[in-house]
Chain A
Amino acid sequence: MHPGDCFRGTTFDRHLQIILVIAQAARLACVNATSFGSGLDGDRSCVLKRGDHATILHDSCIVYERARLVRIEDLEKGFERGLLEHLDPLRSSVFKRVIQGAIESEDTPGHIVNLLQSARDASA
């Protein structure tokens, strides 16, 4: 699994999940997108549009306030047990917008902002 890779639940919570960054201790940070108008339209730090990903059919926001750290082992088990399915990764240009939005959003948890900034510094 790599930053920019995507997945979602197979039967439960079908929202697009995006891997933001690989963290220490075999964890990764991910965040989900959701359509505007579904109740979660407060954060406009990054707006995804139709064509940005096959699952994005309407203008959508990224729910940065719910970005979370997940154990990679748990995700792998989720795929093995059929609870999760892999989706096409984001194009590089789209993923850069998602990351920029995560850093700029006032609602992203601080530890995830720090991870993203460290990853950005390391790759600079």
Chain B
Amino acid sequence: MILKRGSPITGDIFCALPHGMIVSKTLSLIDQMILGQPSELFERNFNVVGKWDLELRAVPDTGALSRSEIRVLDAVFEEHGNKSFSALRELTHSLPEYSDPAESSIPVAPETILAKERRPEEEIDKLRTKAAQFTQSDELFNRIKE
């Protein structure tokens, strides 16, 4: 979605971890679930299966997603949904934006993904502007709620 639209679907932060690329806040929510301290949202929607896996309890509400986002998610699931942990690890290690974080984690900004894909500087600048506008807009609506 970043290569197509310049913004991620999740709104989460991408990070490189030793086992590959992840979305940071989502991984934290999964970890909490596996450790037996689930958030209300995750407890309502997922079951822990075995030691590391989650399964959906029911078909989730996809109302927050657009048609283009659902298409991308379906395509990603079609291509990668049945891959094993080791296959996904190998795949994400081969992505140009991945760099070995040793035992730590390295945040990967969306513009880094575009740069590693050799997108033109003008496109990357537009992405920065877009991200800044999104942040401003979110900030406005957060402030009025305070």
Interface residues of A (CB under 8 A from B): 9, 12-13, 15, 32, 34, 38-42, 63-66, 68, 70-71, 74-75, 77-78, 81, 83-84, 105-111, 114
Contact = CB atoms under 8 A, between A and B. Distances in A.
A15 B133 contact: yes
Contacts, number: 79
Contact of A107 (B63, B66, B126, B137): B66
B60 to A, nearest CB: 12
Contact of B66 (A15, A78, A108): A108
B27 to A, nearest CB: 24
A71 B143 CA distance: 13
Contacts of A42: 5-6
A9 B140 CA distance: 7
Interface of A is mostly: mixed
Nearest to A30: B141
B66 A106 contact: yes
Interface residues of B, number: 29
Given A75-B144, A106-B66, A110-B66, A13 B128 contact: no
Given A70-B141, A84-B144, A111 B64 contact: yes
B133 A34 contact: yes
A108 B67 CA distance: 7
Given A106-B67, A106-B68, A107-B66, A12 B143 contact: yes
B2 to A, nearest CB: 12
21 contacts: A39-B6, A39-B125, A39-B127, A39-B128, A39-B129, A40-B129, A40-B130, A40-B133, A41-B126, A63-B133, A64-B66, A65-B7, A68-B141, A81-B144, A83-B143, A83-B144, A106-B68, A110-B62, A110-B63, A110-B65, A111-B64
A106 to B, nearest CB: 4
List the 7 shortest-distance A-B pairs measured between CB atoms, nearest first: A111-B63, A39-B129, A78-B144, A39-B130, A39-B126, A106-B68, A13-B140
